[in-house]
Amino acid sequence: MIEPDLRDRILAEPETILEDRDVMNALVAANERAMGANIVDLRGIAMQRLETRLDRLEDTHRGVIAAAYENLAGTNQVHRAILQLLDPLDFQEFLRVLTEDVAATLRVDCVRLVLESVQSADDPALRRLGDVLYVAEPGFVASYVAGGRNVPLRPVTLRQVLPESDALYGDRAGYIHSEALLRLDFGKGRLPGMLVFGAEDPHQFKPTHGTDLLAFFAGIFERTMRRWLN
């Protein structure tokens, strides 16, 4: 027998029973046992299927919301990094902001600016700019992005990697496990360049990730660089 107090509470607020999934499942199971093994409760089966579909829809809904928040956070990161790029008034300060402020905002562990040039990398003027600037021979960007494969070159390439040499990353090469390669077009008559973001986290840059935000960042970066190349 149900205790009078409990019975009165159920009669006063029956919706509390309907809203409790565990209680409802228990009641349905008790009803099935009461009907016996020879009777199939199609309504109970339909309810179970509807609950399963509801669970899947709720999981999808949570996934969509999480992806939207992640995309918004990524957009805000890129916007902050772009504003930081626009502040410097000279090239050396521009490179410092790139390796410190922008790297911290985008949460990358290493930044390299690759410029193809016929000028020697041993030029004292270039050495003064620090390790962030990597001067390469013409054709280096396409070769590095392709990685020895005959594949079409995209504006942004994301990949997991273990650098075969320390030519690009220097003493950080052993720690880099993924990278973002942003190809740069500096205008007609100029050799191309590349902005490289290296990360210790092998999952930070993967081929399955979207590249729209980084492509937008690359477009702003190459237009900003043209000021210093004039």
Q: How many other CB atoms are found less than 10 A from the CB of residue 117?
A: 17
User: What pLDDT digit, counting tens, does each position of 96-135 carry?
Assistant: 999 999 999 999 999 999 998 876 555 555 555 667 888 8
User: What pLDDT digit, counting tens, does each position of 17-51 carry?
Assistant: 777 777 777 777 776 666 666 665 666 667 777 77
The answer to whether residue 189 sits within a structural domain is yes
Residue 156 carries which DSSP code? E
What is the DSSP pairing of strand 133-136 with strand 193-199? Answer: unpaired
Work out the mean pLDDT of the chain and round it to a whole number: 82
Task: Tell me the chain's radius of gyration from C-alpha atoms.
Answer: 30
Q: Structurally, how many domains does the chain consist of?
A: 1
The answer to whether residue 38 sits within a structural domain is no
CATH of the domain at 167: 3.30.450.40
Place of tokens 């205790």: 3
